[in-house]
Amino acid sequence: MKFARIFWTAFALLAVGLALASVFLGEGYYTLPRMARHHAAEHKTLGPGGSYGHLLGIGGSLLMVSNLLYLVRRRWSRVEGLGDLSSWLAFHVAFGVAGVALVFVHAAMLYDNPIARASLIAAGVVLVTGVVGRWIYAQVPHRPDGHEQDEGELVSRLRGRLTSVRAELRTAVEDVEHALTRLVAPPVSGPLAAAGRAVLAPVTYLRVLARAAAWRRRLAQAPYGLSRAEIDHVLAVAGEVTVLRRAFRRQTAFKQVVGAWRGVHRIATFILLLTLVTHVVTVLYFSVG
C-alpha cells in the first residue's frame, strides 16, 4: 500500500515537473500577449494545435479518462483482486493531477472557443474538488483494504483493546486514556471547523506527548506503583484507545461531508468528460474539414 502511494505520487510529481519544465523552456512564447502568440514561430509547436501542445493534450486527456478506472475498482466486486482501494485511490489522484497539469500546458492559456474554456474550467474544478476530497478522505478511518470503517467497528475495537488489558492495569489505562482524550478536540460540525483544528494539530500532538510524559512519572508512584514494563504497556494501550476515540469523533463528523463532497466531485467530473469529448470531436471535425 505504501509503495503504491509513493509510486503514484512520484508519477504525479513527474508529470507536474514536465508541465512546469515545458512552461519554463517555452517562457518566451507563453509570456507573449494572447493574440501575439498565434503569430509566433513557436505556436506551431507549443500552441494547443502544435505538435508538442497537441501531444500534451492527448496525454492529459488519456490520463484524466484513465483515472476513472478507480470507480470500476470501487464498484465492481469482480476486480477486488487487482489491489486494495487505497492503492487505487493513489492512482486516481495521481492520474487526475497529472492529466490536469498537462491539459493546462496544452491550452497555453488560449481560450479560442467556449468549449475549450468550459473544458479547462471543469478540469480546474475537478482538480480542486479532488484535492479537497483527498483531505476529507484522510479524516475518515478506513480498513486496511481501503473501505470506510463504521462507528460500530471503531467502538468494538476500542472496547476490545480496553478489555484485553490485565484487570490490575485496567484502572491505570482508563485514567491515562481519559487524561489524553481530554486534549483531543470533540466532534466537529463540518469541514471548515475541522480544517481550523487541523492547523492546531501539531500543538495538540505536543500537548499529548507532554501529558503522557507526566503520567509516566505518576504511574511509577502511589497509588499505582507500576514497573517500567507495566508503565510502557499502560501508556501504549492508552495511546491506542485515544487514537480510536479520535477516529470515532472524526468518523461522526465527516461521514455526511464525504457523501456531499462525492456528489459535487462526480458532477464536476461528468461536466469535464462531457466538455472533453465535445472538445475532441470539435477539433477532429474541423481538422478533417
Give tens-digit pLDDT for 123-135: 888 888 787 777 7
**Residue 216's pLDDT band (boundaries 50, 70, 90)?**
very high
Which pLDDT band holds residue 14 (cuts at 50, 70, 90)? very high
pLDDT band for 140, please (50, 70, 90 cuts).
Answer: low
pLDDT attached to residue 112:
65
Beta carbons of 157 and 169 less than 8 angstroms apart: no
Res. 191: pLDDT tops 60 = no
Q: Domains of the chain: which residue ranges?
A: 2-148+258-288, 151-253
Decide: 235 and 172 in contact? Cβ < 8 Å.
no
267 burial level (CB within 10 Å; 0-12, 13-18, 19+): middle
Q: Is the model more confident about 127 or about 78?
A: 127
Q: What share of the chain is helix, strand, coil (3-state, %, to 5)?
A: 80, 0, 20
Mean pLDDT across the stretch 38-63? Answer: 87
* Closest residue by Cα to residue 219 from 163, 161, 173: 173
Phi, psi of 142 (to 5 degrees): -130, 155
* pLDDT band at residue 198 using 50, 70 and 90 as cut-offs: low
Helix 51-66 and helix 2-25, axial crossing angle in degrees, nearest 10: 160
Q: How many other C-beta atoms are found inside a 10 Å radius of the C-beta of residue 16?
A: 16
Residue 188, pLDDT > 70, answer no
pLDDT at 83 over 90: no
The pLDDT value recorded for residue 17 is 93
Residues in contact with 78: Cβ distance below 8 Å, sequence separation at least 6, in sequence order: none
Residue 146 in this model has a pLDDT that exceeds 60 = no
For residue 162, what pLDDT band results from cuts at 50, 70 and 90? confident
Q: pLDDT at position 144, please?
A: 59
Instruction: Return the higher-pLDDT residue of 63 and 262.
Output: 63
Residues of the chain with pLDDT > 90, as a percent, come to: 7
Q: Quick check: 40 and 259 in contact, CB under 8 A?
A: no
